[in-house]
Copies of this chain bind each other. A is one copy, B any other.
Amino acid sequence: MRLYTLSNWRRMTEIKFRNDVSVELIKSNAIDEDVAHAAWVSNYGGDARTKDTEKMQGLIKYLYREKHMSPFEHGSFTFFIEAPIFVAREFMRHRTMAFNEWSGRYAELEPVFYVPSDSRPLKQVGKIGNYTFEEGTDDQMDLVHQQTSRSYELAWKSYENMLSCGVAKEVARNVLPVGIYTKFYATVNPRNLMHFLGLRTAPNALLEIRMVADEMEKLFAQQMPITYSAWDKES
């Protein structure tokens, strides 16, 4: 049968499984000094860039503690992130960020799928609003690996099958699972980055978005060490 043959030909695209995420800092113009300068505009008027920056640490701690958050908004970080669609879905609920994501309408996606690592807790314990997660059994982990990878392969085969026969990308992709990897730019200012990290590095956050947030946190700490040390995750 014609369809099958074409499909066979295309199936040579090799399917990849990943259990990690990628986070790269594409560019940034946000540094600790900016926070101090912006705050000094409030307090002293004029552009206070020449002011002594020695007291910057105390100032930034004070601003954060007193919830004077506007000085943390001047500048931006642009991250390039590779993560499964189910992570991107949570990520893009953050309306203070700017996004550009790989489009399943314009582009043929790539067969890269998320299969959890052996350390991924598998058992949801407790009732709604009060879940905790525990390690799964070996059998459960085997089942997840087997079911997930098999299901991904079948979905990808359907996708390629439809593309081979000239079906539009935006129709064929409907079968692709939320475990497939997507890629996107995310741009955010320091204030909203801290808010994002507070929510998404918390223990009750989805493990896979926490993996992304943890990487972002490291890059933030490198870029703005004083602000990072003033930041209170819990707040």
Contact = CB atoms under 8 A, between A and B. Distances in A.
Interface stretch (A8-16, A158-166, A211-219, A223-231): A158-166
Nearest to A98: B73
Given A129-B66, A168-B122, A178 B85 contact: yes
Interface in A59-104: 62, 66-67, 70-71, 73-76, 78, 80, 84-86, 89, 92-93, 95-96, 98-104
A173 interface: yes
A165 to B, nearest CB: 5
Interface residues of A, number: 99
Copies in the complex: 4
B109 A45 contact: yes
Contact of A143 (B3, B98, B185): B3
> Considering residues A39, A124, A151, A176, which has the most beta carbons from chain B within 10 angstroms of its beta carbon?
A151
Interface in A144-161: 144, 147-148, 150-152, 154-155, 158, 161
A167 interface: yes
A29 interface: yes
Interface string A105-128: 111011000101000111110001
A38 B162 contact: no
Contact of A38 (B100, B121, B174): B100
Nearest to A235: B235
